Amino acid sequence: MSTSSPAPTRARLHPAAVVALATGGVIILGAIAFLVWLLTAGQTTPNAAATDKLVQWQQVFKTYRDANGGLPDVAAGGYCLGTGFPVGAGGTPNCRDYDGNTFYTEEASAPLMQALATTGPLPEGVSAPVRGTVGPYAIVDDAGIHLLTAEDGTCEAPAVEVWNDGGGLFICQILLER
């Protein structure tokens, strides 16, 4: 007499259960994809925001040039573009190397800001500091006006690199020629 046990039977899901599980999986994957998109959509990098600020200032200078036939007549040197810079060396709000030796003060930048304000409202805010340097700022010389900012890593177009410290600080520029 042989004793054989019945062969095990495989449990089968009802077709409706299979459809429900597949639909649930698709919904979960869709929700995850939507959350990833929601968290990343519309965010700009600090570099893109810094370049956007330079482009806004470029437009202000172009508007001034169109209205007055030239760029603002200010002394050669460095100027902060805007207000709200961190308090640094000398206990004053400064741009460029705000807490170092090569800074420009908001206060000394007032003549340029007043001239530019004659054509309309000025951009607000400052860029994120990178390794002790913050922008936007301008250097006025015989070539024109150099609109500059600090970026972490390579410069975003239309700004171009004019200097880097080899450690992540890149100085990016838009040049307004005379």
> What are the structural domain ranges in the chain?
14-43, 46-177
Is the per-residue pLDDT at 164 higher than 80? yes
Residue 124 has pLDDT above 70, yes or no: yes
The confidence score (pLDDT) of residue 36 equals: 52
Q: Which band of pLDDT confidence, cut at 50, 70 and 90, is reported for residue 120?
A: very high
pLDDT grade for 117, boundaries at 50, 70 and 90:
very high
Helices (H), the chain: 15-40, 46-68, 110-117
Say what the pTM is.
0.76
CB neighbour burial string for 123-158, b if at least 16 within 10 angstroms, e if fewer: beebbebbebbbbbbbbbeeeebbbbbbbeeebbee
Give the least confident one: 39-48, 81-90, 91-100, 153-162.
39-48
Of 8-12, 48-52, 84-88, 130-134, the one with minimum mean pLDDT is 8-12
pLDDT band at 28 (very low <50, low <70, confident <90, very high): confident
Which residues are 148's β-sheet partners? 137, 173
Please state, for a pLDDT cut of 70, what percent of the chain lies above it.
Answer: 81
- Here the tokens at position 33 are 């994809």
- Cis peptide bond N-terminal to 123, omega within 30: no
pLDDT in the model for residue 19: 75
Answer whether residue 10 shows pLDDT above 80.
Answer: no
Read off the pLDDT of each residue in 11-20 and give the average, rounded to a whole number: 73
Q: Are 174 and 58 in contact (CB under 8 A)?
A: yes
- Please tell me the predicted confidence (pLDDT) of residue 3: 59
